[in-house]
Amino acid sequence: MDLRTICLGLLTLGDRSGYELKKLFEDGSLGSIAGVSFGAIYPALGKLANEGLVSCRAEAQKKRPDKKIYSITPAGRAAFVEALMDPVAEDRFRSTFIFVMYFAHLMPGERLRELLSERIASAEQRIAQLRALEPLSTCPSHRFVIGLGLATYTAELTYLKRQRHSVEAPAKRRLDDLREPCQLSPSLHGQAAGSSS
Amino acid sequence: MDLRTICLGLLTLGDRSGYELKKLFEDGSLGSIAGVSFGAIYPALGKLANEGLVSCRAEAQKKRPDKKIYSITPAGRAAFVEALMDPVAEDRFRSTFIFVMYFAHLMPGERLRELLSERIASAEQRIAQLRALEPLSTCPSHRFVIGLGLATYTAELTYLKRQRHSVEAPAKRRLDDLREPCQLSPSLHGQAAGSSS
DNA sequence: CCCAACATGTAAACGGTTACATGATTAC
DNA sequence: GTAATCATGTAACCGTTTACATGTTGGG
């Protein structure tokens, strides 16, 4: 789903300027998941206006550039509802953290601990953001998204903490295990395949 | 983290061709998270070779194009370990499912049920993939990644099932709640701000 | 004094996917 | 026969980020 459609969707919730749209996205439940940049929003809005899916009125402001307030048109609303029927694309997920952890055995232990702490902190922050949003959101759809975010971030946090715990505990294991050398199981090697199974 | 670095990392686990690298990525624990295309892998490998971070030997095959096996060089290994020290970028996550669910109230109930079922099925599939990988992975780093994936997907699955459950249960609620009209709380509107707090 | 927030926009760069081009082999 | 797997590569396209350009207001 491209930004164009996301903007369209956000505009079903009320009229907004590009600037406000970005805030709404980032401060809302979707923001705990990803960000957007102006360099993408403004052109998207322009295109939407070209296609007649949104209308735009300029609101003059003293000593500030005109604020361009966009409203979704009936055609835009129809197009958006239509878009909700399209087959959903798979999640596009790229996590440097996960990738880097896949190579934990190549890092100094100190770095490993640092990485884990950072990740725990950021998960806690996202959870806090979602919890703060919860009482403000009366709409069940939004509560669903918040609940989903909360469920997954909490699970990640629990997992991460359990992993880190082992370092600080007297038994001091597990995290150090991560530094053990790595070897792939033959079935993942796929080299000179021996016609398995 | 770009594909170039990911290829470099994967090559620390053993020599491989571009084709095999793609399989390794997709069949391994990282594959339950995202995919890669040849159109990105081959150029990445070429660039890596240009920079002397990997070496390449062509393996002639009867009736097939030469297989180009890449090995990481000492310089490449150093560069990769270096890359593991770089500050980790935030996750880049784009989920059409989550976005669409944010607008559940604009969809027919049937569509909603379909979406939920699809998502549940795909989460179950990913969990199955990770579980299948678990006994094959002796390396603690990889087990960490598998465990993390399992923890989050399981949490999502549980959440999703609980949401769906309410439809099939006699009390038939919650999921239908999602179709209720939506209104943002004033604090998220941000329109004509009344100097809150 | 400087930084953050407000406000819009453009252009270049980036990192990736999709489609195209080519072609043998094996399993159903 | 036809689809999948093996095997590499290029070019066009796409959506997005980053950097640039411009300027005011208000708070620390």
pLDDT in tens, A13-47: 999 999 999 999 999 999 988 899 999 999 999 99
- At residue A157, does pLDDT exceed 50? yes
Given a cut of 70, the residues of chain B with pLDDT beneath it are: 166-175, 185-197
CB of A35 within 7 Å of some strand D atom:
yes
Compute the distance between CA of residue A35 and CA of residue A27 in angstroms, rounded to an integer: 10
Chain B contact for A103, CB < 8 A? yes
- Would you state the pLDDT for residue A154? 98
- At residue A195, does pLDDT exceed 50? no
Residues B49 and B101 in one domain: no
- At residue A196, does pLDDT exceed 60? no
Inside any domain, residue B188:
no
Compute the distance between CA of residue A106 and CA of residue A6 in angstroms, rounded to an integer: 40
Residues 21-60 of B with CB under 8 A from A: 23-24, 27-30, 33-34
Q: Which residues of chain B does A9 touch, with a Cβ-Cβ cutoff of 8 Å? A: 99, 102-103
Query: What CATH number does the domain containing B76 carry?
Result: 1.10.10.10
More confident residue, B112 or A184: B112
CA of B17 to C1' of C23 (A): 19
Residues B76 and B140 in one domain: no
* Interface contact flag, B159 A137, Cβ < 8 Å: no
- Over range A186-193, report the average pLDDT: 50
Q: Which pair of tokens denotes residue A77?
A: 């609303």
Residues B70 and B134 in one domain: no
- Would you state the pLDDT for residue A33? 87
* A64: confidence class by pLDDT, cuts 50, 70, 90: confident
Task: Strand C: list positions under 7 Å from protein Cβ.
Answer: 6-12, 14-19, 22-25
- Would you state the pLDDT for residue B193? 36
- Would you state the pLDDT for residue B174? 62
Compute the distance between CA of residue B10 and CA of residue B25 in angstroms, rounded to an integer: 8
pLDDT in tens, A92-112: 999 999 999 999 999 999 999
Give the residue from B79, B87, B57, B23 showing the smallest Cα distance to A106: B79
CA of B63 to C1' of D2 (A): 20
| 3-class state of residue A68 by DSSP | strand
**Which protein residues, judged by their CB atom, are less than 7 Å from any atom of strand C?**
A 17-20, 23, 38-39, 42-43, 45-46, 61, 64-68, 94; B 2-4, 34-40, 44, 62-65
Residues A25 and A59 in one domain: yes
Inside any domain, residue B195:
no
Q: Which residues of chain A does B144 touch, with a Cβ-Cβ cutoff of 8 Å? A: 101-102, 104, 163, 178
* Interface contact flag, A96 B1, Cβ < 8 Å: yes
% of chain A residues with pLDDT over 90: 75
Residues B30 and B71 in one domain: yes
- Would you state the pLDDT for residue A61? 77
Chain B contact for A78, CB < 8 A? no
Give the single-character DSSP code of A179.
G
Residue type, B27: D
Q: Which residues of chain A does B136 touch, with a Cβ-Cβ cutoff of 8 Å? A: 185, 187-188
Give the structural domain span for B50: 3-83
Inside any domain, residue B142:
yes
Inside any domain, residue B89:
no
* CA neighbours closer than 13 Å in the CB half-sphere of residue A131: 9
Domain-ending residue, one of B83, B116, B149: B83
- Would you state the pLDDT for residue A51? 96
Chain A contact for B97, CB < 8 A? yes
Q: Per residue, what are the HEC states of chain B?
A: CCHHHHHHHHHCCCCECHHHHHHHHHHCHHHHCCCCCHHHHHHHHHHHHHCCCEEEEEEEECCEEEEEEEEECHHHHHHHHHHCCCCCCCCEEECHHHHHHCCHHHCCHHHHHHHHHHHHHHHHHHHHHHHHHHHHCCCHHHHHHHHHHHHHHHHHHHHHHHHHHHHHCCCCCCCCHHHCCCCCCHHHHCCCCCCCC
Domain-ending residue, one of B52, B83, B114: B83
Residues B136 and B157 in one domain: yes
Inside any domain, residue B186:
no
- Over range A115-137, report the average pLDDT: 95
Inside any domain, residue A184:
no
Tell if the pTM clears 0.95, that is, is over it.
no
Residues A57 and A15 in one domain: yes
Minimal Cα–Cα distance from B128 to chain A, Å? 16
Inside any domain, residue B153:
yes
Residues B50 and B109 in one domain: no
Q: What is the count of structural domains for chain B?
A: 2
Residues B103 and B174 in one domain: yes
More confident residue, A135 or B168: A135
Domain-ending residue, one of A83, A110, A137: A83
| 3-class state of residue A190 by DSSP | coil
Minimal Cα–Cα distance from B50 to chain A, Å? 24
Residues A79 and A110 in one domain: no
Q: Which residues of chain B does A112 touch, with a Cβ-Cβ cutoff of 8 Å? A: none
Compute the distance between CA of residue A174 and CA of residue A164 in angstroms, rounded to an integer: 8
Inside any domain, residue A191:
no
Residues B78 and B113 in one domain: no
Q: Identify the residue whose tokens are 């989050």.
A: B152
Residues A70 and A22 in one domain: yes
Chain A contact for B99, CB < 8 A? yes
Tell me how crowded residue B26 is: count the other CB atoms within 10 A of its CB: 15
Chain B contact for A125, CB < 8 A? no
Compute the distance between CA of residue A122 and CA of residue B164 in angstroms, rounded to an integer: 30
